[in-house]
Amino acid sequence: MDDAILKVVDVSHSYYTKKGAVLEVIKNMSFDVKYGEFLGIVGQSGSGKTTLLKIMAGLIKPLSGKVLYKGKPVTGPTPAISLVFQEPVLFPWLTVLENVVLALKRVENISKDEMIVKAQSFLDMVGLSGFENSYPGELSGGMKQRVVLARALVTNPDVLLMDEPFSNLDPLTAISLRREIDMLRQHETLPPTSVVLVSHNVEEIVELSDRVLVLTSRPAQVTGEIVIDMAKPRDRRTPRFYEYVDAIFTLMS
């Protein structure tokens, strides 16, 4: 049996600039996301990571190649694949609870009451009980990113794609949110979601990933793969941790 839930098959993509020049962003990229794995993808800023995730989520159609979800082509956004952007995107005129319920309205055929109960339970899981009736404008950046996470997980996606979700948070908030992502994945009520995290932050990728793909700078290609064989939670101050970090930097340079 194929152990891949998502397959990126020979994907290439370019942008056309206003002056008519072609900017080649992704070149002949192929890799698999396996069932239940935490896949890290690390590359420098501008290397094409956001473009890659948008292609995987069905938001951009690549110029060539394809993305397969359980063997079928991804041709547009699907509730099975959730994307968390770098900047938390929430509707400012809706409460925290309403923002999460909205995600359920798009996919589930359940009663309003059931939606509220479900949204509430995911807000509890990300540590936001008590803030259901707050508006996004009243929350800190870290809390907004938690709402986004609850909204991304409430529909039980099979694949969670995360685009540098910690990069705009203050360091302490980033630390606690990284830990929580790991704990959420072990939560018994959640299905074993596959996670793809893209980041330029090598330490963050080593801390969280089971397997890491290293990208070249633009156009992005996979230049190496490293399996991180360390128990979680991982201590960044160990020699072993730094061996992995060094190995990735070597591949990036």
Ligand X SMILES: Nc1ncnc2c1ncn2[C@@H]1O[C@H](COP(=O)(O)OP(=O)(O)O)[C@@H](O)[C@H]1O
By CB under 6 A, name the binding residues for ligand X.
15, 23, 25, 43, 45-51, 218
The bridge status of strand 81-84 relative to strand 159-163 is parallel
Q: Which does 193 bind (CB under 5 to 8 A by kind): Mg ion, ligand X, none?
A: none
The bridge status of strand 194-199 relative to strand 159-163 is parallel
Q: 193 vs 199, which CB is nearer to ligand X?
A: 199
Q: Which does 43 bind (CB under 5 to 8 A by kind): ligand X, Mg ion, none?
A: ligand X
Q: Is residue 199 part of the contact set for Mg ion (CB under 5 A)?
A: no
Q: Using the structure block, give the residue that is written with the tokens 């800190």.
A: 140
d(CA 79, CA 86): 19
DSSP string computed for 167-185: TTS-HHHHHHHHHHHHHHH
Q: 33 vs 143, which CB is nearer to ligand X?
A: 33
Which helix (H) or strand (E) segment is 99 a member of? helix 96-107
Q: 52 vs 97, which CB is nearer to Mg ion?
A: 52
Please give the size of the binding site for Mg ion, defined by CB under 5 A.
2
Q: What is the CA radius of gyration of the chain?
A: 18
Q: Is residue 145 part of the contact set for Mg ion (CB under 5 A)?
A: no
Q: 50 vs 209, which CB is nearer to ligand X?
A: 50
Q: 50 vs 99, which CB is nearer to Mg ion?
A: 50
Q: 25 vs 195, which CB is nearer to ligand X?
A: 25
| Of 92, 100, 192, 78, the residue nearest 148 (C-alpha) | 100
The CB-of-222 to ligand X minimum distance in angstroms stands at 14
CB atoms near residue 239 (< 10 Å): 6
Write the CA distances from 151 to 86, 141, 197, 242, integer angstroms. Answer: 15, 15, 17, 34
Q: Which does 15 bind (CB under 5 to 8 A by kind): Mg ion, ligand X, none?
A: ligand X
Q: Which does 95 bind (CB under 5 to 8 A by kind): ligand X, Mg ion, none?
A: none
Q: Counting every residue, how long is the chain?
A: 253
Q: Is residue 50 part of the contact set for Mg ion (CB under 5 A)?
A: yes
Q: Which does 23 bind (CB under 5 to 8 A by kind): ligand X, Mg ion, none?
A: ligand X
Residues forming contacts to Mg ion in the complex (CB under 5 A) are 49-50
